[in-house]
Structure formats: C-alpha cells, structure tokens
Structure 1
Amino acid sequence: MTAVDPQQLRTFVTVARLGSFSDAARELGYTQSAVSQQIAALEADLGTALLVRRPVGPTAAGQRLLEHAAPLLVRLAAARADVARLAGAPSARLVLGATPLAVGAELGRALGEVRREYPGAEVEVRILGHDALPAQVATGDLDLALVDGLAAPSDPLPLPEVGPLTTVAVDERPLAVALPTGHPLAGRTGLALADLSAARWLDAPDLAPGAARLRAATGVDGFRPAARYCGTDLHGLLALIATGHGLALLPEPAGAGVGAGADGVAYVPVAAPRLVHRTELLHGSLPEGPAALLARLLAG
C-alpha cells in the first residue's frame, strides 16, 4: 500500500459528509467522474470498500478512516499555514477568534493599543465555540484565539492536538454556581459541586462546562441537563437561569456579592473541588505586525 493521497482523502471526507458524489463535486470544483475516480483509487489503494453507493454513506472501514482523516487533514493544513506565515510578508490584517466568555476589558484595551501602533490595521473579532478555535488557528483561518474553560489552578486547558501552537495563560478567575436570586442556596458562602449532582443544570456547550466535564471534575455521577441552550449570548443563558430553568457553572463576576446578582441571577463561589475559570491565548508563528503585538500585550 502506498501513502494515502491527501487530495483523495479530502474528497472522501467531503463525499461522506455530504452523502452525495454530485454535491461533493460541486463543492470541490471537480466533475462527478473525477470524484468517483478518486474514491475508486483510494479504495483500491486501501484494498476495501469505503462507501456504499445507494444511499451514499461510509462502510465500517470508511467510518474508521473518517476518524483518522479529520485530524490528518487539519495537521496538513496547519503545516501549510505555518510555513506560509514564516515565509510571508507582515500583514496589516488581524483576525482574532474568541470564545464568548474570553472577551473582556483587557482585550479591548489591548486592541486599542494595537490600533494606535497600526492605525491602518483591519481588525476582525469572531466569537466561536470552543471546539472550532484551535484548528482554525492552526490552519491560518485565525491569527490567534482566546479560549476559556474549566481547569485546576495553574493547569492548562485540555485542548485538542492540532499542530505546534503556542499557549499562554492570560487570566484565571474564581468559579461560581449561577442560580436564581430566590433559590434556597443563593445565600450560601460556598458550594461543593458534588452536592449539586442531582440539581437541574443547563447544558450550554459554548458558555459553561457540560455534564461530562462536571462529572469528571467531581467524580460523581449525575449533572443531568434539564434543558439545552445552543448559542453564544450570555444574556440569554442568564435569563433562563433567573427564571428557574437550571443552574450553570460560570466565572464569578467582578464585585459579585453572595446572594446578590444582576438580572435575577446570584453567584455562589465553588468551594470544592478547587477549580478556576482559565483563559488562554493560542497562536502559531506570528511575523511582526498587529497580531504579534496583540499576542505580546495579552501575554504580558
């Protein structure tokens, strides 16, 4: 067996994702016959069928190849982007990705300094989910990213391995359980997460740790979500908490007092286990320019 052709692999992934040879041909800019030939060549090389044709979908072997294909293609794109950054001229454009809770006043001040140093810089900030950011930085879709999450004090965030990225801690804040101000626990000075495993929780994957992460952190089963919130708007999540639809684990706002909270939400500090809300900066090679300056300002 020869080495797998990356283009054939990319074509296979596209066909499997779209469930159609013709749709894949349109997306990739090929003829349908060219797509069929690439799939046939890949199957011949691997010695097994990868797709069933009616309806189009992966075989068991094809499903296993898909599990390997996504990270392989990301690493290939990351290598190309990394070399291009090193070889390219400095760019006056800055594209920053961030998870919703990673954006704060410090970022605003740092961007202001970048604009003063590079008054002609084009600045774009994209608010995205946790899972998308590392790969987009590695492949050059983003210059750098701010990612937040749950961690033990001074421990790095558990991020996917997508290439040689630099990771720098920029902030650690206390965690709190967000609950309605009228909740019986709203006046507590601290809460153990394990004691809340049977409570109603909100599943908000882009804003707060999910049930699996809470179970792993506490070693306790439970934390079953009462409702799912799909979005990056924190105000919408807080409205659901305030009206009793569930709890969420969030960074404690500056100046929040026990039992007090804006918009009907109280924040009670997490007493156990020892966890923090951590924000990290991710970037690859950065030629001198707006992105490199922003990275230095945030890391400093």
Structure 2
Amino acid sequence: MDLHLLRTFETVARLRSFSAAARELGYTQSAVSQQIATLETDVRTRLLDRRPVAPTPAGGRLLEHAGPLLLRAAAARADLARLVTAPGARLTVGAAPLAQPPVLAGALAAVHRTHPGVALTLRVLPAAEIPALVATGELDAGVVEAATAPTDPLPLPDLAPLASRVVLESPLVVALPTDHPLARHEWLRLADLADARWLDAPTAAVPLGRLRAVLGSDGFPPAARYAGGDPAGLLRLVAAGHGLAALPAPLVAGVPGTVAVPVTVPRLVHRVELLHAADPAPSAAALATFFE
C-alpha cells in the first residue's frame, strides 16, 4: 500500500473535505480525488462516501491502521536522518506538566555549560503527545510521566527504537481538603475512592482514565473539570472542596488547605522518564548522561 496515498486518505477523512485536504497537502482538489480513487482501486473497495465526505465502514477500518503506519514511517525517516545528517546546534525538549522536577532544570543548565552553542527550547506538552514527537524527530528528547506500579514500565506506545531512563520516582498521593473525612488517614485504598468526587484534570494530575485502568473500574466520576496545566491551580480547587486529585507527593506537600494521603492498595508510584532516540544527537546524549 502506497504511504503517499494513505496520507492523502487520512487527511481527507480527518478534515471531511477534499478541498480542505488539498489546501493542507498543497495539491489540487482533482489530484486529491485521483489519489483517493487510486487507493480505492488498490484495495478494491470504496473508502469514502462523497456527499457528505465520510469514511465508509471499510474506510473506518483502514483509518485504524493509517495513523500508526504513517507515524512509524515518519519515525523511520527521522531515525535514518539522524544517521546521515550532521547534528544540529539545538536541543528541543518536550516535558509534560507533571514531568518538570527541579532536577530537570539542573540537567538543562549542565547541558548548556557543556554545549554552549546549543539553542535550547523547552516545550510543555501533554504527556501522550511526547513519544511520537521524539520518534519523528520534532523533539530531541522528551520527559514523560505516569502513575504505575513500582516494577512496571510506563505505558508508552511502540513507535520506534527509543531509549528511556528514570528521572524521578515519587509516591502517588491523593490530595484532599483538610476538612475531608479521610484527611486524617495514614493511607488509602484506591478502590475506596472510586465513588468520590474527583477533579478531571488530565494535564495537571493523574488522568482519571489512568486510575480507572489501574483499578479496572468505571468509577472516579468527575465533579468538575480543570483544563489548565498548573498543579498549583488545581490544588486550590481541591482545598476549596471541589474534588480530589491524584498527584506525585512532592507537589502536594505543604500546600495550604490540602492534605496528601498515600495510596498503598494498590501500591502506585509516579514515575518521570526521559525519552530519546536510540542514537541521539550529542546534546540529547549529554542530557541523558546527567541522569545516569
């Protein structure tokens, strides 16, 4: 299957428009239509309804394969480019909001001292987006995080041969207001909180979907949504009684109006890891060396 045609199909299906896809891809509309027709001939079935533009059942199934295939192709291209292209004078690091411990600032400062000509950029991004950006070369390194069992790897997609190393591991705690009935407990069972009021804050706390996956439960109903990426702002909502949040212990310690109670059943930790290509640029390699 021609990846060039697959990319055109994915774009038309995503935008639900031949003309919009043509503008994004830099083609004429007739060229886009011809590419879709060629792909449909190749797979011997109709992939898109034309009015309105929408994937057919077969097109929907192909879309499930298209994203990973195109991403793997981009990752392979970036991996080869690193082998044949001289490393650039840049270090672009992506970090999730909960993956920026103070040690990261020290590591970046150390790289700047050893590679003074490198242009450093730190991008704050959702954790789920970072592995793909590292794999495709848009980021030289990424700092990701997740709640996991102490001996389990982080739940990362299989995109390319990426290397990882632990930056920080902290106990996972539940942040409660000081007047909460459970605030005096020394530890908590996650299952006992499945029906509590939670704050849905996917970029500022452990996502509720992750807690459901860990427990195998449909619980953890959101009482309110926090769309920001600042854990301090989220904890102000916790202190005001709007809901609970799961966070790494260092972020909750000493925050007025809140109490951090460890989760011990199941035992969970919040792990921060550094990702980079298997054969990284010198500046990215220097960053990784800092955490050895």
TM-score interval w.r.t. the shorter chain? over 0.9
Q: Which residue of 1 aligns with 2:169?
A: 172
Q: Which residue of 1 aligns with 2:194?
A: 197
Uncovered stretches (5+) of structure 2, i.e. residues with no partner: none
> When the two structures are aligned, how many residues end up with a matched partner?
292
Distance 1:30 1:220 in 2: 47
Distance 1:19 1:27 in 2: 12
Distance 1:288 1:218 in 2: 39
1:294 aligns with one of 252, 276, 287: 287
CA drift at 1:296 = 1.2
Alignment of 1:240-259 (within 5 A): 240-253=237-250, 256=253
Distance 1:254 1:139 in 2: 31
State the percentage of identical aligned residues. Answer: 60
Q: Which residue of 1 aligns with 2:272?
A: 279
Q: Which residue of 1 aligns with 2:60?
A: 63
CA drift at 1:263 = 3.6
Alignment of 1:204-243 (within 5 A): 204-243=201-240
Counterpart amino acid of residue 77 in structure 2: R
Uncovered stretches (5+) of structure 1, i.e. residues with no partner: none
User: Structure 1 residues 222 and 289 mapped into 2: Cα distance closer, same or farther (>3 Å)?
Assistant: same
Alignment of 1:115-130 (within 5 A): 115-130=112-127
CA drift at 1:206 = 1.9
CA drift at 1:193 = 1.1
Q: Which residue of 1 aligns with 2:93?
A: 96
Distance 2:251 2:36 in 1: 56
Distance 2:251 2:4 in 1: 50
Instruction: Give 4+ residue runs of structure 1 displaced > 6 Å after superposition.
Output: none
User: Structure 1 residues 65 and 220 mapped into 2: Cα distance closer, same or farther (>3 Å)?
Assistant: closer
RMSD: 1.5
Aligned to 2:191, the other structure's residue is in SS state helix
Counterpart amino acid of residue 140 in structure 1: G
Q: Map Cα deviations across residues 86-130 of structure 1 (whole Å, 9 max, x no partner).
A: 211122100001111110111111111111111121001111112
Q: Which residue of 2 aligns with 1:111?
A: 108
CA drift at 1:287 = 4.4
User: Structure 1 residues 295 and 222 mapped into 2: Cα distance closer, same or farther (>3 Å)?
Assistant: same
TM-score (norm 1): 0.93
Distance 1:263 1:9 in 2: 53
Distance 2:236 2:156 in 1: 29
Q: Map Cα deviations across residues 5-45 of structure 1 (whole Å, 9 max, x no partner).
A: 11100001111111111111011000111000000000111
Q: Which residue of 1 aligns with 2:71?
A: 74
